[in-house]
Chains A and B, each alone.
Chain A
Amino acid sequence: MRRLLNLQPRRPLRLALFLAPVAAMLVTYLAFSDARLAENPQDRLLPAFSTMGDTLLRMATEPDRRSGDLLFWLDTGVSLQRLALGVGLGALTALVLGVASGLIPLAGASLSPLLAIIAMVPPLAILPILLIAFGVGELAKVMLIAIGVAPFIARELEGRVRELPREQLIKAQTLGAGTWLTLWYVVLPQILPRLFDAIRLSLGAAWLFLIAAEAIASTEGLGYRIFLMRRYLAMDLILPYVAWMTGLAWFLDYALRALNRRLFPWYGAEAGR
C-alpha cells in the first residue's frame, strides 16, 4: 500500500471525487425540501427546483408589472456595471499609486506608509461617509467598491514592483532608459499581468462591497433584490440569484485568467528561474 500523500487519483476517480460531495449536497437539499413540501405545499424555506426555475424564468422573461422592466436582466446589468466601474476605478488608481510607490523611492517614502494605514480602514465603516459625501446615487456605490479594493491592489503592486530584480533596472539604464522609459518599457509591461492577478484576488471583496452597498441604498441590482425578497422569505428567488452571482464571479475569474494567458504569453515562464 502506498502512502496516502503519494496516492494520485486517476481521471475517472478524480471526477467521481469531485461530483460526490456536489451530488450529496443536492440529494440532501432535495430530501429536506420534499419532506417540508409534503407537510406544507406552501412552504417557502426550501422550495423545489421546479419552483426556483419558474420564478427565475418569470424574472427573466416577463416584464415587471409596475416598471415594465425585465428585472433579472436589469439587476444583472446594473450590478455588473457598478462592479466594473468600481473595480476599474480602484485598479487604475492602485496601478498609479502602487507603481509610483514601488519604483520611485521618493514617492514610496510618502505613499508606502500611507497605503499601509489606509488599507487598515474597514471599507464598510466608511460607507456612511460615502453616502453623505456622494449621495445615495451610483457614485457612492462605485466609490465604495473602488476604495475597498484600491489599497489592497496598490500594496500588492508595490510589492511586485519591488520584487523586480534590481539587475533589470540597472540594465535598463545601461541601455539608455531613464526613469520614464524604464517605467514605460520595463516596469509597466511586467506589472500588468500582476495587476490582472491582483484584480482577480480582489473580486471577492468587490462583490461583498457591491452587495452591501446595494442592500443599504439602492433601487435595483442583484444585491438589492435578494435583500428585498428576504422580507417575503422568497427563497425561490434568493437561491437562484445566489447561484447566478456565484456563476458570474466564477466567469469573471476565468475570463481574467484567460486574458492574462492570452495577452502575456511570457508570464509565468520568466527567465532566470
Chain B
Amino acid sequence: MSELALKNVGMRYGDSVVLERLNLTLAPGTFCAVVGASGAGKSTFLKLLLSELTPTEGSITLGGRPLPQEPGPERGVVYQRYSVFPHLTALENVCFGLERTQGNAIFGRTWGARRRALRAEARDLLEAVGLTAAAERYPGALSGGMQQRLALAQTLALKPELLLLDEPFGALDPGNKQAAHALLQQLWAERGMTVVMVTHDLSEAFTLGTRVLVLDKVREDPHNPERFGASITYDLPVDRSAPPGAASIPHAS
C-alpha cells in the first residue's frame, strides 16, 4: 500500500486560479472525504489525482513516485454517472479491467482456462456487491443503486492502490444510499485501499471518512473572484473507534 502526497499543488487556467497551495499526506488505507461548496474545485482536485489534469504547480506522488501522467490501473474511479459501459452486461463490465490487463496489447482479451478463471473472479466480485442475479443484464436495465454497486465491483477488480470516488452516491435515494454506504465501508475494510471521495453531502463525508477535508477559498478578492483559488481550509480526523453517530462529528465552523 502506498502513500499519497501533494506538495504545494496548484491549478490555474490562464488567469483564473482554481486550486492553490494544497499540501496533504494521506497514510495508506485512509478514507478521505473531500467536501466543499460548488465551484470550490472538488472535481478539479479529483481530476488532478486521476491525471486527467496536470497541476500547474507543485507535485503529486503516490508511494514516493511521481503520479503517472495518464490514468492507469493503479488508480480506480467511480463517477456519479457514466461509470459503467452501457454496451456490456454486468459480468462483462466487471471482466473489462481483468481482460484488458491480462490480455496482450493487440487483442486485449484472454481465452480458455484463463478466461474461465477471470470470469469466476468477476462472478465473485458481483456476488460481493450483491449483483449475482443481474450478471447477464445490461446497465440500462439496472437501478441507479445497482449501477453504482456494479461500478464499484468493476473498479475493485483491478485492486487499485487508490480509489477515487466522484459523488458516487449523489443520485441515489436515501435507502439505496445507506445500503451503498454500508457496502463501500465493508469493501474498504476488507481491502484497505486508500480512498478519496468527493462529495457535497456533509453527513456522508463524516459517516464514511476517516479524514474529512474542506476545500474553500482562504483569500477573497471581491473585484476579481478568480484571482485566488481554493485550498484546504479544514483537515478533520474522524474518530472511528467511537460508536457511529453524531457524537463523533466535530463541528466544522
Contact = CB atoms under 8 A, between A and B. Distances in A.
Contacts of A176: 72-73, 97, 100-101, 158
B154 A272 contact: no
Given A165-B82, A270-B139, A170 B105 contact: no
A193 to B, nearest CB: 9
A175 B150 CA distance: 14
Contacts of A168: 82, 85
Interface string B14-58: 000000000000000000000000000000000000101000000
Interface string A110-143: 0000000000000000000000000000000000
A174 B50 CA distance: 9
Interface stretch (A5-13, A179-187, A197-205, A219-227): A179-187
B157 to A, nearest CB: 8
B108 to A, nearest CB: 4
A162 to B, nearest CB: 14
A175 B86 contact: no
B84 interface: yes
B206 interface: no
A217 to B, nearest CB: 43
Contacts of A172: 96, 100
Contact of A184 (B52, B79, B108, B141): B108
Contacts of A173: 70-72
Nearest to B141: A269
A267 B50 CA distance: 29
Contacts of A271: 82, 84, 86, 138-140, 142, 147
B72 A174 contact: yes
Given A175-B100, A266-B87, A272-B86, A170 B158 contact: no
Contacts of B142: 271
Contacts of A272: 81-83, 86, 139, 147
A265 B136 CA distance: 12
B140 A174 contact: no
B77 interface: yes
A76 to B, nearest CB: 36
Interface string A236-273: 00000000000000000000000000001111011111
Nearest to A174: B71
Interface size of A as a range: 20 to 34
Nearest to A168: B82
Contacts of A39: none
B43 to A, nearest CB: 11
B160 interface: yes
Nearest to B96: A175
A232 B83 CA distance: 64
A269 B155 CA distance: 23
A185 B108 contact: yes
Contacts of A184: 108
Contacts of B52: 170
B87 A175 contact: no
B108 A177 contact: yes
Interface in B102-123: 105-106, 108
B82 to A, nearest CB: 4
A178 interface: yes
B130 to A, nearest CB: 18
A73 B141 CA distance: 45
A189 interface: yes
Nearest to A181: B108
Contacts of A174: 50, 71-73, 75-77, 97, 155, 158, 160
Interface of B: 50, 52, 70-73, 75-77, 79, 81-87, 96-97, 100-101, 105-106, 108, 138-142, 147, 154-155, 158, 160
12 contacts: A171-B82, A174-B71, A174-B73, A174-B76, A174-B97, A176-B100, A176-B101, A180-B108, A190-B85, A269-B138, A270-B139, A272-B86
Given A173-B72, A176-B97, 6 more contacts: A174-B76, A174-B77, A174-B155, A180-B108, A270-B139, A271-B84
